[in-house]
Homo-oligomer: A and B are copies of this chain.
Amino acid sequence: MNRKSKGIKAERDLVQLFCMTGDWLAIRVAGSGSSRFACPDVLAGNRIRKLAIECKTVSTENKYLSEADIDQIKEFADVFGAEPWIGVKFRSEWFFLSIDDLKKTNKGYAISKELAKNKGLLFEELIDT
């Protein structure tokens, strides 16, 4: 599976996680990687909360997000009225990081599996906060 297919599969898995809860629904955003307007990869909602989620799959290496990536997520969440989250899939487990928890680097932000595990919320914690 190439990187793009892997990303789409991860997003679909996350959508399914939300939809299986019964009181949340989620959708994948079409063209989230190429849209000229700010948008997340996945949008989830229930009657009270809306989550704008940028999804990353992490294996052994760190993942990097540019300042522009983060600004886009924040902008979308601010205007659309949603909470901005970074969803990190490591093996079959998801960890959800708030932007404040990302590690700042010279050029943007870095996510390691250690950071995701130490600072991230599990799915059950995310939907329960």
Contacts and interface: CB of A to CB of B under 8 A. Distances in A.
A8 to B, nearest CB: 8
Question: How many copies altogether?
Answer: 2
Contacts of A82: 45
A81 B50 contact: yes
Interface residues of A, number: 27
Contacts of A48: 81
Interface string A20-55: 000111011111100101110001011110100000
Nearest to A42: B30
A104 B37 CA distance: 37
25 contacts: A15-B37, A16-B37, A19-B37, A24-B79, A24-B80, A25-B79, A25-B80, A27-B29, A27-B30, A27-B32, A27-B35, A27-B43, A29-B29, A29-B30, A43-B43, A45-B79, A45-B81, A45-B82, A46-B79, A46-B80, A46-B81, A47-B79, A47-B81, A48-B81, A50-B81
